[in-house]
Structure 1
């Protein structure tokens, strides 16, 4: 994975705010904490391991997905610098929205790790927003932008539940 200034910039603009800044503010201003002192939170081994595992896997998937946009797509996930080419390699061979799924993992992991209802509601809000936005807005834009290439990809790669085998491209018979 090639780490570029553009990749770092894009990663820290949206995902960083969604996964770090907003959750920190939720924890900081919630009744269960004393502004990041985490006074009222309790940690169990199961929750800690589960939360850290979800966060780690989510961060790895998000980073890998964002990096694909700069390497393969010659752009970024940011609307002001979108990819010039359709990104269908790496985790995108299994599922159409791996970046968002990575963020889901991080947000759910944070809610589990801290046992925070506020973080769980933030996860649910982000989940619901993406479950609506992706099919209603994003997919139609991608179809207009990339045409038949995207429509073929959309027919072969699921939106949210990953394929068991990677899609090999437009020539695959599946």
Structure 2
């Protein structure tokens, strides 16, 4: 298990990782694909533009919440500096992969806002990579690290489609 970290170190590591991973995946790459150039949605703008911003804002809020939980558990989401304990609080009581879902929501919101098929294709590629990472590395590592605690969590909390009620340990 990871060595105890100071709260300051956990927060700094979490913030750095936030900019390096989701910042690139949900910010830099979508910008490179679209230039963040708006699209004229015409008479449907009243619906499409707010819907896009809701998807982006919800993704940002859930992403920041999930990242903060890692720092509060004295670790980071980065595999090289994990938490001391399994994070099963907050949004993690509803779904096991809220960060990945949040990032995908941000990208899809941008795809809609900028009417970008390139970002839709990028979302499919990102989702494929994320699922491969979760199945090939993350789940086996968490099982090895936390054993029955993670297996019980995995049995009770879905990976990709949130529960309607929070899981109670």
Under TM normalisation by the shorter chain, which class is it?
0.7 to 0.9
Structure 1 or 2: more helix by fraction: 2
Q: 1:14 aligns with which of 21, 27, 36?
A: 21
Q: Deviations over 1:45-76 (max 9, x none)?
A: 3221111000000000111001111102x110
Task: Please name the residue that 2:3 is paired with.
Answer: none
The 5-angstrom pairing of residues 35-114 of structure 1 reads 38=37, 41-43=39-41, 44-72=45-73, 74-114=74-114
Is the counterpart of residue 5 in structure 1 residue 47 in structure 2? Answer: no
- In structure 1, how many angstroms separate the alpha carbons of the residues matched to 2:70 and 2:167? 18
Residue ranges of structure 1 left out of the alignment (5+ in a row): 29-35, 170-174
RMSD: 1.8
TM-score of the superposition, structure 2-length normalised?
Answer: 0.87
Residue ranges of structure 2 left out of the alignment (5+ in a row): 1-7
The 5-angstrom pairing of residues 24-39 of structure 1 reads 24-28=31-35, 38=37
Q: Deviations over 1:107-126 (max 9, x none)?
A: 11010111011111111111
Q: How many residues align?
A: 158
Large movers: runs of 4+ above 4 Å: none
Task: Please name the residue that 1:135 is paired with.
Answer: 135
- In structure 1, how many angstroms separate the alpha carbons of the residues matched to 2:12 and 2:161? 31
If asked which structure has higher relative contact order (CA below 8 Å, sep 6+), I would say 2
